[in-house]
Amino acid sequence: MTDTIASFKPKAIVFDLLTGLLDSWTIWDASTPTGTSLEGLKWRKQYLEVTYGSTVYGPGSTYEELVSRAAAESGLPSSSPEALHKNWKDLKAWPEVGQVLRELRKKGYLLGIVTNCSRELGHAAVRSAERAAEEAEGEGEGSWKFDAAVTAEETGWYKPAVEAYHGILPLLGDVKPEEVLFVAGSAGDVVGASKAGFRVVWNNHVGLERKGDVLPLREGQSLDEALRDFL
């Protein structure tokens, strides 16, 4: 496995957003009646099951609708998804993300995001990750940008559909699937991105269980650990 990593030189590194780069789990917890992971974790795991089983983005299966459906199936009131939308502005990157992004940019990789999200909330969340890179060097708002970012609403597909991952490729220019390293945030991403022809590492920051028999090149509990062969 180590030899495979050492020999792989990606042209682009593409990230899952809401777990791979951001601690969205905290605001999910805060949006429940108890404000704790006791309810938030159950809701979030149900959301992952619902979203990764939906495939097509559209009427009846928009991001906001699936979040609400997962809340109801977890026994939570409608006030929870409403609170999540309100708390979205509080999204923060994992502590190491800003510096890691800056180091990857210095090494010349194209950097992109594929996220199972609506256009509005997805690009607001992208700014949270970009802000972390700016703050790492004390730079001003808007001074650091990803090369490309695409949401499920924009591609019409939810991960782990291959089309969801491939939706980023035209935005990155002359990049083929085999030239992409994908940073997964969940077990579903490990499987889905691999099927899309990407090589995969997993930032398993929250300790999720593996699914299937597809393994990432490396699994870490932080972004820098998952990407240590490329920094």
pLDDT in tens for each of the 231 residues of the chain? 444 787 899 999 999 999 999 999 999 999 999 999 999 999 999 998 898 888 999 999 999 999 999 999 999 999 999 999 999 999 999 999 999 999 999 999 999 999 999 999 999 999 999 999 999 989 888 899 999 999 999 999 999 999 999 999 999 998 999 999 999 999 999 999 999 999 999 999 999 999 888 999 999 999 999 999 999
CATH no. for 2-23+91-230: 3.40.50.1000
Per-residue pLDDT at 7? 85
- On whether the pTM is more than 0.85, the answer is yes
Give, as one character, the DSSP assignment of residue 153: H
Per-residue pLDDT at 1? 45
* Calpha distance 73→90 (Å, rounded): 25
| 75 contacts: CB under 8 Å, gap ≥ 6 | none
Contact 149, 112 (CB under 8 A): yes
Between strands 148-151 and 180-184, the pairing is unpaired
Burial 134-144 (b: 16+ CB within 10 A, else e): bebeeeeeeeb
